Amino acid sequence: MNIPVGISARHLHLTKEDFCKIFDSENLTKYKDINQPGLYAANETVTIKGPKGMIESVRILGPFRSYSQVEISKTDSYNLGVNPPIRKSGHLQDAQTISVIGPKGSVEVPVIIANRHVHISLDEANSLGIKDDDILSVKINSEKPGVILAYFKVSEQAYKELHLDLDDANAFMLKQNDIVEISFNKNK
């Protein structure tokens, strides 16, 4: 099955409570929609700061969530001086925190490297015999080709795409909306 690639630059999700601590506002404002239904890039950006360095202009993705989380690449982690685990979104146990700095103040937020994952809707997952967290393989036919493992992420609503971070995208010479081929086993 062929699906498009969505490349995730570093970004973060915030609870409303954390947002209000660092912005003089109670609401995110939409910059633009992203492919996943209901999600958007906000106009609001922050600076993230680790023991070794900082990165400015990191975008918040809205809407607010029940957890705050910064998602970076391994390259970013060396620049910041942190050692984040590779995790599914929201799985933050044992993840170290990083300073997230807004115009009004700063909060400490867990930082992860997102695992490689394919968004798929519950209806399509059911029809294909796929469960959340199932492993799949992704064949990349770029100038630097290969096969990588990823995980299905099943949501009620979803735009079907492979989410990779910038390290993966650059290692495989992939751009937004490039096409990759996925294969997987159906659950009995």
| Whole-angstrom distance, CA of residue 20 vs CA of residue 44 | 12
Q: Which residues bind a copy of itself (CB under 8 A)?
A: 73-75, 78, 86, 115-116, 143-149, 165-168, 170-173
CA distance 184 to 147: 13
Q: What is the smallest separation between the CB atom of 85 and a copy of itself, expressed in angstroms?
A: 9
CB closer to a copy of itself, 27 vs 142: 142
Shortest separation between residue 83's beta carbon and a copy of itself, angstroms? 11
**How far is Cα 120 from Cα 127, in angstroms, rounded to an integer?**
11
In the complex, least distance from residue 75 CB atom to a copy of itself, rounded to whole angstroms:
5
Q: Which is nearer to a copy of itself, 113 or 154 (CB)?
A: 113
Give Rg (Cα) of the chain: 17
For tokens 């968004």, name the residue. 119
Instruction: Please work out, in degrees rounded to the nearest 5, the angle formed at the alpha carbon of residue 43 by the alpha carbons of 85 and 8.
Output: 35
CB of 78 to a copy of itself, least distance (A): 8
Based on CB atoms, which residue is closest to a copy of itself, 33 or 133? Answer: 133
Choose between 29 and 78: whose C-beta lies nearer to a copy of itself.
78
Nearer to a copy of itself, 23 or 172 (CB): 172
Strands (E) in the chain, as ranges, are: 2-8, 11-13, 30-33, 40-49, 54-62, 69-71, 86-87, 97-101, 106-114, 117-121, 135-140, 146-155, 161-165, 179-183
**Smallest gap from residue 165 Cβ to a copy of itself (A):** 8
